[in-house]
Amino acid sequence: MAEETRKDRCGVRRPVRVNRDESPLGRLFDPAGNPAEQFLTRAEFEAGERFRDDLAQSTLNPRLTMDWAAPPAGRAARGPARDPAAASDAALFARARVNKALDAVGKPLDRTLLDVMWRERGMDEIERAERWPRRSAKLALKLSLQRLGLHYGLIAG
């Protein structure tokens, strides 16, 4: 775990503890490294992490463990609510933020962003699926994070 400062939704920098190994962007940005040698800028990294937080809150992210908070429903399996009416307000607002962010990123870069941040696909896998040249998925990800940074106001436009 590392201690970093990140902007919250109000634009205030706050200290947070992060596990960089958990982030799909962790290998592409090292806050302690030389900025000239970084593939991603701090703003691009923060935009990606903010998007990832919204994905997690929106319940669009696939659940990896049992949902013990869900009430038992007879013989039905426990799990996340699939009915939008049963979703929490926080999840609905997060889902709206995710959709606005994807609209801001635009097609086809939104697909690359989701592949990396939600599906956690590797660059090689994305390039094979899209039939792109080698190392092009990394560039597509950087472009999508730049657009995301503009959307969040982390990058001046």
Output the tens digit of pLDDT for each of the chain's 157 residues: 667 676 666 667 778 776 666 788 988 887 777 877 889 999 999 999 999 999 988 875 445 556 555 555 555 544 455 555 556 788 889 999 999 999 999 999 999 999 999 999 999 999 999 999 999 999 999 999 999 999 999 998 7
> What pTM was estimated for this model as a whole?
0.74
Q: Cis before residue 72, ω within 30 degrees of 0? A: no
Residues with Cβ within 8 Å of 84's Cβ and at least 6 positions away in sequence, in order, are: 92
